[in-house]
């Protein structure tokens, strides 16, 4: 199912007090969530978000119909019967998850390891970071962009650093990227070597490369 974004600006303009909108944005920016659960069922997406003081906000969104229903267990919602800061924060969180969501379709193939390869490519961060199944350490990346104006003869450029603690610059970005995606060992100097048996790239970085 396609995860359309909830039009947050239109939602906030619907008679929601400014202080409630600001509170919701602050909760989202400070990551005040204890847990977020999403259930995708036919033509609707249900999300439940629990917050630091035990409040639970619920969203039910039907992308095809652009219909949204909300509720929260907090006092403000019950006393005013209008969206609270927890609901606003939940919409921001949903839109963040919708931006990351890619509907993946694994087509049947003769390769008997297609499912295993899919998991390696798109679930490495889940397997390693969340379950410790393989116990590898996630690589960290830092990107530096230098963008020249159209009137400038010089080209725009990008520098990428990688590592687990201290970061080291990629000298040949294209070659290093190929090695990382192919899970081939790569040296970054005397103090850091990428070893696919010890390190992994999370799914978002993988798609970026």
- Tens digits of residue pLDDT in 55-101: 999 999 988 888 899 999 999 999 988 899 999 999 999 998 888 87
Pairing of strands 137-138, 199-200: parallel
Assess contact for 118 and 126: CB atoms under 8 A.
Answer: no
Instruction: Report the percentage of the chain scoring pLDDT > 90.
Output: 26
Assess contact for 136 and 130: CB atoms under 8 A.
Answer: no
CA distance 186 to 172: 11
Minimum mean pLDDT among 14-23, 26-35, 83-92, 142-151: which range? 142-151
For all residues of the chain together, what is the average pLDDT? 80
pLDDT tens digits, one per residue of 114-166: 666 665 555 555 554 444 445 678 888 888 877 665 565 666 778 888 888 88
pLDDT value of residue 45: 92
CA angle, residues 60, 62, 65, in degrees to nearest 5: 140
* Res. 18: pLDDT tops 60: yes
Assess contact for 72 and 58: CB atoms under 8 A.
Answer: yes
Strand stretches in the chain, DSSP E: 33-41, 44-51, 56-62, 67-72, 137-138, 140-146, 157-163, 167-169, 186-187, 193-194, 199-200
CA distance 125 to 148: 35
Distances in Å between the Cα of 194 and the Cα atoms of 62, 121, 150, 164, 207 are 44, 17, 37, 9, 19
Q: In degrees rounded to 5, what are phi and psi of residue 162? A: -145, 150
Q: Average pLDDT of 43-50?
A: 92
Assess contact for 53 and 59: CB atoms under 8 A.
Answer: no
CA distance 188 to 10: 48
pTM over 0.75: no
CA distance 52 to 34: 6
């Amino acid at each position: 199912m396609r995860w359309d974004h909830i039009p947050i600006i239109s939602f906030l303009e619907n008679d929601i007090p400014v202080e409630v909108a600001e509170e919701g944005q602050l909760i989202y920016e400070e990551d005040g969530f204890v847990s977020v659960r999403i259930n995708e069922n036919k033509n609707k997406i249900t999300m439940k978000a629990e917050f630091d003081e035990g409040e639970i906000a619920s969203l039910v969104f039907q992308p095809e119909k652009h219909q949204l229903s909300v509720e929260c267990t907090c006092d403000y919602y019950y006393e005013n019967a209008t969206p609270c800061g927890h609901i606003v924060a939940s919409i921001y969180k949903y839109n963040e998850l919708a931006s990351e969501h890619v509907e993946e379709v694994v087509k049947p193939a003769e390769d008997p390891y297609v499912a295993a390869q899919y998991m390696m490519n798109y679930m490495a961060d889940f397997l390693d970071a969340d379950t410790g199944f393989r116990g590898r350490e996630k690589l960290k990346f830092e990107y530096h962009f230098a963008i020249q104006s159209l009137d400038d003869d010089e080209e725009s450029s990008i520098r990428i650093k990688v590592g687990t603690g201290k970061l080291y610059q990629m000298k040949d970005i294209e070659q290093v990227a190929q090695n990382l995606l192919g899970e081939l060992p790569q040296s970054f100097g005397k103090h850091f070597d990428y070893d696919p048996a010890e390190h992994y790239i999370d799914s978002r970085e993988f798609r970026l490369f």
